[in-house]
Amino acid sequence: MNTIAEHIADFLKEYAPFDQLTFQELSEIAANIRVLNLEKNKTLFQINDPLHDCFYMVNSGLINLYAIADAEETILSKCHEGAIFGLRPFFAKNNYMMTAKAREESIVYAIPIAVFRPFVANNAAVLDFLLENFAANSQQTKTSQNLGKSIISDTVFYSDQKAEMQFFQALSYNSNPIVVTADAIVKDVAQLMAETLLNSAIVCENNMPIGMVTHTDMSSKIATGRYTNTVSVDTIMSTPIITVIENVSLAEAQLLMLKNNVTHLCVTQDGTNKSVIKGVISEHDLVIAQANNPGVLIKEIKRSQSSKELKQIRLRLADLIQNSIFKNIPLTHINNIASEINFAIIKRAVELSILDLGSPPARFAWLSIGSQGRKEQLLLTDQDSILIFEDVAAEKYREVKDYFLKLGKKTTLTLEKVGYELCPNGHMGSNMLWCKSLTDWVKQYDAWMNTPGENSNELSSIFFDYELVIGEQKIEDAITNVVFRNAKNNTLFFDFLGNDALRKNSPLSFFKKFIVEEEGIYKDFFDIKTRALMPLVDSARLFALSYDLIGINNTYLRFKQLAITDPKHSEIYLNCAEAFLTLSKFRTLEGLKNDDSGQYINLEEMSKIDKEKLKNALAPMKELEELIKNKFQLTQFS
């Protein structure tokens, strides 16, 4: 079973009714599922649409179901992760009675009814569940008897269990295919294929695709002498041609090739043979895409023996990020995947250093801090880390610290070769200041938090965003305990952090104009990192520490959690969460375009719409500022 189907099966088994099926049954269903990436406000089906051949399940995002009552659209249900909807085709023959629309970027599984029906027939619990789900009154939810953990409503089933992180797959293909007419001569087409090094050509009539000629057709029909090379190409072409839509997923493309026993698919604008040709997907493209599958990359990282090999994988991660953004996959998913791969690379760099230096003389923890620790590093920014080793006897301290400093130096140099620049401020495990014993680290955090601004090691708030990459979980837990113990009622600390969050330069002038750089090579550029993203990062951290949100480092997730913890201000937090994603996407696109950290945005190159989008994303900051001033009683900069 391929990796994508495996991950789909893992996701399904967490939710009813799929938790009633065997792994074998789940695998079969997963292999036939279509993965749909829906943009915000995209309609999946609407009232009176003919029924689809599948029902749906939300993998991530939010789908709303609407009905029309008194000539107005009324929201019936909100379908979150794990919700099943659109079951009408199972039980009814008439058209849809409601509209399903994505309220945010969403990933939805389309589960073919023909594939699922046999499992329903053989499993009474599954059938009962679906019937109850379909028949229940759409306005009220009730708990399923036989599946206690579920909450059910009309065509929606929702369970709040957290799903595992999803691996999804972007697919690149040849957007410059050979296109010939039906009367083209085989010899000429063969020559064209040889010159362009392509192994297929699309045959057209009136600019619409009617067939495909591949290398295989040439060898099995011409080279064997069945036809001469002077016949017209329509004599040997494979027809009908199998067409797909532009943003087809790897899983869908694989299924179509297997089902139709073909090696090439023709990409058209609307997925039919009656629209403009956009390109060709070959089996080779699928192999390449699978090589960039996150699961495959992580396996390769674990086997890597040098910084050179790790660098190659890091470059493929950049392609994966670019493709995923291009395909409009939600940024939160891309972040998850990129962080897993970044962490695997750092972990492998530490392991290679240990293979070189010999076993560590004490237990330790390597923590990524800053953007890596927050799992927000989509671009190649600098590395930030700290190294903590367990307490050892005084006479061994020097020798143990020396080992870990060497480990820190070796690892940071490996990572530099991979492409992660050294931190200009020296916030790395290779620095004596940031490589020390647990007791010394506890003293460091105590000093930072109880006398902020006083000690020589200027408090840098990135030390409060950390994630264990390799080593002892207990060591990280000990630091977390110290941080949250010190945070309790610590007015001085929050006063310092609050003022620090407010001190960042404002992004817009009084007249709502972007405040840009006044000199240097980035003159007239907008510093999206310092003026827009950092104030959100700092504020999310500030509130997370004050509300005891232990273990949530990611800025987007911190705001989402704050909306639940402090419901009175939930709207502000949710607006900030959305703003953070929008701004991050702008920065990432800029960085990918210029192959840098994306910190400075060239406003001249932006479209009017994008400028407006950027400006709107800065809107929640004013309210956030007021909230900080009120909650932490800040009147002026201290």
Q: What is the three-state SS of 208-249?
A: EEEEEEEHHHHHHHHCCCCCCCCCEHHHCCECCCCEEECCCC
Angle of helix 23-32 relative to helix 3-12, nearest 10 degrees? 120
Please, how many CA atoms are within 13 Å of residue 372, restricted to the half-sphere of its CB? 28
Q: What is the pLDDT of residue 332?
A: 80
**Separation of alpha carbons 595 and 589, rounded Å:** 10
78 backbone dihedrals φ, ψ, rounded to 5°: -110, 125
Q: Which two tokens stand for residue 525?
A: 């550029």
Three-state SS at 165:
coil
On the 0-12 / 13-18 / 19+ scale of CB atoms within 10 A, 380 is buried
Note whether 152 and 77 are within 8 A (CB). no
Q: Which two tokens stand for residue 98?
A: 């409601």
Note whether 98 and 66 are within 8 A (CB). yes
Q: What is the pLDDT of residue 155?
A: 30
With the C-alpha atoms ordered 539, 543, 548, 551, is the resulting torsion angle positive or negative? negative
CATH annotation of 3-158: 2.60.120.10
CATH annotation of 294-485: 3.30.460.10
CB neighbourhood size of 149 (10 A): 12
Q: Delimit the domains of the chain by residue range.
A: 3-158, 178-284, 294-485, 491-631
- Helix or strand holding residue 534 (H, E): helix 534-546
CA angle 206-212-218, nearest 5°? 130
CB neighbourhood size of 331 (10 A): 22
Identify the bridge partners of residue 102 per DSSP, sorted by sequence position. Answer: 63
Helices (H) and strands (E) in the chain, counts: 23, 23
Q: Which residues of the chain register pLDDT less than 70?
A: 1, 68-74, 91-94, 121, 124, 128, 131-171, 249, 251-252, 255, 258-259, 290-293, 327-328, 453-459, 505, 510, 635-638
Nearest partner of 423 among 346, 369, 365, 470, judged by Cα: 369
**Separation of alpha carbons 175 and 177, rounded Å:** 6
Nearest partner of 587 among 406, 407, 381, 295, judged by Cα: 381
Q: What is the pLDDT of residue 163?
A: 24
Q: What's the CA dihedral at 355, 356, 360, 363 to 10 degrees?
A: -50
Nearest partner of 466 among 482, 450, 485, judged by Cα: 482
Where does residue 375 fall: left (phi above 0), alpha (psi -120 to 50 degrees), or beta otherwise? left
Q: What is the pLDDT of residue 290?
A: 66
CB neighbourhood size of 452 (10 A): 21
178-284: what CATH class?
Answer: alpha beta
**Separation of alpha carbons 134 and 153, rounded Å:** 8
Note whether 241 and 210 are within 8 A (CB). yes
